[in-house]
A and B are shown apart, each in its own frame.
Chain A
Amino acid sequence: MSKISLIIQREYLTRIRKKSFIIMSVLGPLIFAAYVLIPMYFATLEDKEEKIMLVIDESKLFTEYRADGPEFVIAGTDYLKFQVVEGVPIETFREGFDESGYYGILFIPANILASESSLIYSTKQTSVEISQYLERSMDSEIEHLKLAQHEIKDLERILAEVETSINVRNIKWTKDGKTQESNTGVVMGLGYLSGMMIFFFIFFFGSQVMRGVIEEKVSRIIEVIVSSVKPFQLMMGKIIGVGLVGLTQFLIWMVLSALLVTGLKAAFFPELNRTPTEQVVASDLFEQGNGDQGAMSPLEEIPEVGDLDMAQEIFTSLKSINAGVMIAAFLFYFIFGYLLYAAMFAVIGSAVDNETDTQQMIFPVILPLILGIYVMISAINNPDNALSFWFSIIPFTSPVVMMVRIPFGVPWWQVALSGSLLVGTFLGMTWIAGKVYRTGILMYGKKASYKEIWKWLRYSS
Chain B
Amino acid sequence: MNRASELSGANLISASSVVKDFSGHRALNQVSMEVPEGSVYGLLGPNGAGKTTLLRIINQITAPDQGSIHFKGQPIGPEHRPMIGYLPEERGLYAKMKVGEQAVYLAQLKGLSKQEAIKRLKIWFQKFEIGAWWNKKVEELSKGMAQKVQFITTVLHEPQLLIFDEPFSGFDPINVNLIKQEILRMKEQGATIIFSTHNMASVEELCDHITLINASEVVLQGEISEIRENYHADKYLVSFEGDPDALSRGLDSRFELLNLEKNGMGRQATIRLKEGEGSGPLIKNLVEITEIKSFQEILPSMNDIFIQVVNDAIQKKGS
Which residue in chain A gives the minimum CB-CB distance to B105?
A10
Residues of A within 8 A of B59 (CB): 227
Q: Could you tell me if B90 and A227 are in contact, using CB atoms closer than 8 angstroms?
A: no
Tell me the minimal C-beta distance from B306 to chain A in angstroms. Answer: 26
Contact of A14 among B62, B82, B93, B96 (CB under 8 A): B96
In angstroms, Cα B153 to Cα A225, docked, is 11
Tell me the minimal C-beta distance from B135 to chain A in angstroms. Answer: 13
Tell me the minimal C-beta distance from A238 to chain B in angstroms. Answer: 12
Q: Could you tell me if B61 and A229 are in contact, using CB atoms closer than 8 angstroms?
A: no
The reply on B60 being an interface residue by CB < 8 A is: yes
Chain B: interface residue count, which band?
20 to 34
Residues of B within 8 A of A222 (CB): 92
Contact of B86 among A224, A438, A461 (CB under 8 A): A224
Q: Could you tell me if B109 and A219 are in contact, using CB atoms closer than 8 angstroms?
A: no
Could you mark each residue 20-31 of chain B with 1 if its beta carbon is under 8 Å from any beta carbon of chain A, else 0?
Answer: 001100000000
Given A6-B105, A10-B105, A227:B62 Cβ within 8 A: no
Residues of A within 8 A of B62 (CB): 438, 442, 461
Residues of B within 8 A of A230 (CB): 78
Could you mark each residue 157-197 of chain A with 1 if its beta carbon is under 8 Å from any beta carbon of chain B, else 0?
Answer: 00000000000000000000000000000000000000000
Given A10-B105, A227-B84, A228-B106, A442:B96 Cβ within 8 A: no
In angstroms, Cα B104 to Cα A1, docked, is 13
Q: Could you tell me if A224 and B106 are in contact, using CB atoms closer than 8 angstroms?
A: yes
Q: Could you tell me if B61 and A223 are in contact, using CB atoms closer than 8 angstroms?
A: yes
In angstroms, Cα B82 to Cα A306, docked, is 68
Q: Could you tell me if A227 and B60 are in contact, using CB atoms closer than 8 angstroms?
A: yes
Which of A219, A223, A226, A227 has most B Cβ within 10 Å? Answer: A227
Given A10-B105, A224-B106, A219:B84 Cβ within 8 A: no
Tell me how many residues of A have a C-beta within 8 Å of chain B: 26
The reply on B312 being an interface residue by CB < 8 A is: no
Residues of A within 8 A of B305 (CB): none
Tell me the minimal C-beta distance from A39 to chain B in angstroms. Answer: 38
Q: Could you tell me if A6 and B109 are in contact, using CB atoms closer than 8 angstroms?
A: yes
Q: Could you tell me if A220 and B88 are in contact, using CB atoms closer than 8 angstroms?
A: yes
Interface residues of B in 79-99 (CB under 8 A from A): 81-82, 84, 86-88, 90-97
Tell me the minimal C-beta distance from B154 to chain A in angstroms. Answer: 8
In angstroms, Cα B60 to Cα A91, docked, is 93
Q: Could you tell me if B61 and A226 are in contact, using CB atoms closer than 8 angstroms?
A: yes
In angstroms, Cα B88 to Cα A305, docked, is 67
The reply on B65 being an interface residue by CB < 8 A is: yes
Given A3-B109, A460-B63, A223:B97 Cβ within 8 A: no
Q: Could you tell me if A220 and B90 are in contact, using CB atoms closer than 8 angstroms?
A: yes
Contact of B92 among A7, A224, A438, A455 (CB under 8 A): A224
In angstroms, Cα B67 to Cα A460, docked, is 13
Given A6-B108, A6-B109, A10-B105, A227:B91 Cβ within 8 A: no
Contact of B95 among A3, A219, A223 (CB under 8 A): A219
In angstroms, Cα B150 to Cα A223, docked, is 12
Tell me the minimal C-beta distance from A157 to chain B in angstroms. Answer: 76
Could you mark each residue 110-124 of chain B with 1 if its beta carbon is under 8 Å from any beta carbon of chain A, else 0?
Answer: 100000000000000
Contact of A228 among B81, B90, B91, B93 (CB under 8 A): B81
Interface residues of B in 153-205 (CB under 8 A from A): 153-154
Which residue in chain B gives the minimum CB-CB distance to A443?
B22
Could you mark each residue 199-233 of chain A with 1 if its beta carbon is under 8 Å from any beta carbon of chain B, else 0?
Answer: 00000000000000001100111111111111000
Contact of B91 among A220, A229, A455 (CB under 8 A): A220
Tell me the minimal C-beta distance from B50 to chain A in angstroms. Answer: 14
Which of A216, A226, A438 has most B Cβ within 10 Å? Answer: A226
Residues of A within 8 A of B95 (CB): 215, 219
Given A3-B109, A224-B88, A227-B86, A219:B93 Cβ within 8 A: yes
Residues of B within 8 A of A459 (CB): 22-23
The reply on B56 being an interface residue by CB < 8 A is: yes
In angstroms, Cα B87 to Cα A408, docked, is 58
Which residue in chain B gives the minimum CB-CB distance to A444?
B90
Q: A223-B86, A224-B150 are in contact. List 10 more A-B contacts (CB 8 A).
A: A6-B108, A7-B109, A10-B105, A215-B94, A216-B94, A220-B91, A224-B87, A227-B81, A227-B88, A228-B106
Chain B contact residues, CB within 8 Å of chain A: 22-23, 56, 59-63, 65, 78, 81-82, 84, 86-88, 90-97, 105-106, 108-110, 150, 153-154
Chain A contact residues, CB within 8 Å of chain B: 1, 3, 6-7, 10, 14, 215-216, 219-230, 438, 442, 455, 459-461
9 closest A-B pairs by CB: A220-B92, A228-B109, A221-B92, A461-B63, A227-B59, A223-B88, A220-B90, A227-B86, A219-B92
10 CB-based A-B contacts, threshold 8 Å? A10-B105, A14-B94, A220-B90, A221-B92, A224-B92, A224-B153, A227-B81, A459-B23, A460-B63, A460-B65
